[in-house]
Amino acid sequence: MNTVEIIRKKREGQALSKEEIEYLIQGYTNGTIPDYQMSAWAMAVCFQGMNEQETADLTMAMVRSGDQVDLSSIRGIKVDKHSTGGVGDTTTLILGPLVAAAGVPVAKMSGRGLGHTGGTIDKLESFQGFSTELTTEEFVDLVNRIQLAVNGQTANLTPADKKLYALRDVTGTVDSIPLIASSIMSKKIATGADAIVLDVKTGDGAFMKEEEDAIRLAKAMVSIGKLVGRNTIAVISDMSQPLGYAVGNALEVKEAIDTLKGEGPEDLTELTLVLGSHMLCLAGRAQTAEEARAVLEQCIRDGSALNKLKEMVQGQHGDPNQVDHPELLPQAKEQIVVRAEQEGYIHRIQAEEIGLCAMRLGAGRATKEDQIDHAVGVVLHKKVGNPVKKGEPLATLYVNRNEMVNEVTQRLLQAIEIQTRPAQPPKLIRAIVTPTETIRL
C-alpha cells in the first residue's frame, strides 16, 4: 500500500477501506509513517470528513494499536460513562457508587485533569492514602467483590490515539467530528466497556460550544458504538455554567458526598440520575428510564449509595472515615468571600473562566508535571437565573497561597455577569441521542 495514494484519495473525498485505515494507523504507531504524512491526512479528513464505516474502522484500528483491558472475568454487563470535558463535573464520583449500589458493575478507568477540567483520579486522591494504581488483578477482584473500582490508566492503551491527538493539537486538526469521535470511543472500547453512556457537554465550558455541534459529535459516537457492537447512548447536557457549586478536588468530593446523601445541588443530582438511569437500562438492570430512576433514588434514600463510596475508598486503601466526616478531607487555610458589586439577576457564569480561576488557585495543572493542591478551589453560591443583592456572596475562594487572590477575585467578578432584568436558568438536558433517534428536549 502507498501512503501518498491514501492521502490523495482522502483529499479527493473518497472513502478509505478498512485495510487502508489499518495500514495508516499501524504505520504511524510504529514510526514507518512520519508526522508530516499523518498531518496531511488529518487535514484532508478535516476538509472531506469520513463516513460512519470509516470512522468505526479508524476507532478499531486505534483500539488495536495497543493493549486492551480484559474485563471478561467481571460478571455482568460493564457499562462505562464518559463526559466530554467540563468544569466542576463531579458526576463520575457520584455515578460510580450510585450505579454500583443498584447492582451494576462499574470498572472505571479514569484520567488526571489538564487545563481547566478536573480529573476524577485527582479528585479521589483527596482521600488520604487512596490508590489509583491497582494492578489489573486487584482492580478486577475489587469490582467482583463490591461492584466498584476506579483506577488510573496504567496499560499501554491506544498509543495511536495519543500520538495522533498530540499531532492534531499542533497542526490545527483537532476540530473534526470523526477524529474526535474515534479518539474518545477508542479509549472507552480499549478499557473494556460493553456498553457506553456518553455525556456530551455543550456551552461555554465545553469542547463543543454549540448545541448542534454537540449533537453531531454525539451521533458520530453512537454510530461507532452501533457498528462495533457496543451499545451506546448519548445525553447532551448544558455546560454554559459549572455543574453544581464546587470546583476543586476535595471541594467536589464533599459535593459528591452531599449528593449521594440526597442533599446535593439540583443540577448535579438531576444529571447524575439521568445518566445513571441510562446506565442501568444498558446493563439490563431496568427496562425503562423511569424504573431505573426509581431504583437509583431508592439507593440514595436508603444510604446504600453513600455506603458504596465508603466501601470503594476502603477497598482502594483510602480512609473511609473521611466519607462520614468530610471536614477531615484536605482543608484550605483561608476562605475569602467574593461579593456582588451590584444588584440584579445572574445572567452568565462563564464555566471555563471559573475552571481557570480554580486552576490558578492551585486546583488544576497547566502542564502535566504540575502538582495540584487538593484543598483549594472555588465554591459558587449562585446559579444562572438567581436574584442577587449588592454585597451578597457570589463565591467563596478556598486558598492556601495569597498571591493569586486579587487576580482571581477580579476574574470571578468578570466571569459572573449580573444584569437588572430577570434571567432564565438554562435547560440542563438538551437532547438524547440513541442509535435510532435524536430526541430534543
Binding mask 168-197 for ligand URA (x = CB under 6 A): -----------xx--xx-------------
Of 25 and 356, nearer to Ca ion (C-beta) is 356
* Residue numbers 190-229 binding ligand URA by CB under 6 A: 207
Q: Using the 8-state DSSP alphabet, how is residue 435 labeled?
A: S
Catalytic residue among 39, 65, 110, 183: 183
- Considering only the stretches 90-98, 162-170, 217-225, 405-413, report the one whose residues sit in contact with Ca ion under the rule CB under 5 A: 90-98
E strand or H helix at 80: strand 79-83
Q: Which among ligand URA, Ca ion, none contacts residue 225 (Cβ within 5 to 8 A by kind)? A: none
Q: Which among ligand URA, Ca ion, none contacts residue 246 (Cβ within 5 to 8 A by kind)? A: Ca ion
- What does each C-alpha distance from 400 to 117, 129, 242 come to in angstroms? 20, 21, 22
- Residue 150, judged by CB atoms within 10 A of its CB (0-12, 13-18, 19+), counts as buried
Q: What per-residue string of b and e applies to 398-417 under the rule 16 or more CB within 10 Å gives b?
A: bbeeeebbeebbebbbebbe
Of 123 and 168, nearer to ligand URA (C-beta) is 168
Is residue 65 annotated as a catalytic residue, yes or no?
no
Q: Quote the least distance from Cβ 390 to ligand URA, whole Å.
A: 41
Counting Cα atoms < 13 Å in the Cβ hemisphere of 92 gives: 31
Residue positions counted in the chain: 441
| Position among 53, 115, 165, 428 found at the interface with ligand URA (CB under 6 A) | 165
Of 244 and 315, nearer to Ca ion (C-beta) is 244
Total residues interacting with ligand URA, rule: CB under 6 A: 6
Catalytic residue among 10, 81, 82, 365: 82
CA distance 85 to 37: 29
E strand or H helix at 388: strand 387-388
CA distance 319 to 422: 45
Is residue 10 annotated as a catalytic residue, yes or no?
no
Q: Which among ligand URA, Ca ion, none contacts residue 184 (Cβ within 5 to 8 A by kind)? A: ligand URA
Of 184 and 408, nearer to ligand URA (C-beta) is 184
Examine residue 88 and tell whether it contacts Ca ion (CB under 5 A): yes
Residue type at 176 in one-letter notation: S
Q: Which among Ca ion, ligand URA, none contacts residue 88 (Cβ within 5 to 8 A by kind)? A: Ca ion
All three cell numbers of 67, joined, read 493493549
384: left (phi over 0), alpha (psi -120 to 50) or beta: beta
Of 27 and 118, nearer to Ca ion (C-beta) is 118
Of 245, 291, 287, 284, which Cα lies nearest the Cα of 268? 245
Examine residue 38 and tell whether it contacts ligand URA (CB under 6 A): no
Is residue 230 annotated as a catalytic residue, yes or no?
no
Q: Report how far Cα 2 is from the mean position of its chain's Cα atoms.
A: 38
CA distance 316 to 142: 8
Binding mask 121-160 for ligand URA (x = CB under 6 A): ----------------------------------------
Q: Quote the least distance from Cβ 165 to ligand URA, whole Å.
A: 5
Question: What is the binding site for ligand URA (CB under 6 A)?
Answer: 165, 179-180, 183-184, 207
Residues with catalytic annotation? 82, 161, 168, 183, 187
Question: What is the binding site for Ca ion (CB under 5 A)?
Answer: 88, 90, 244, 246
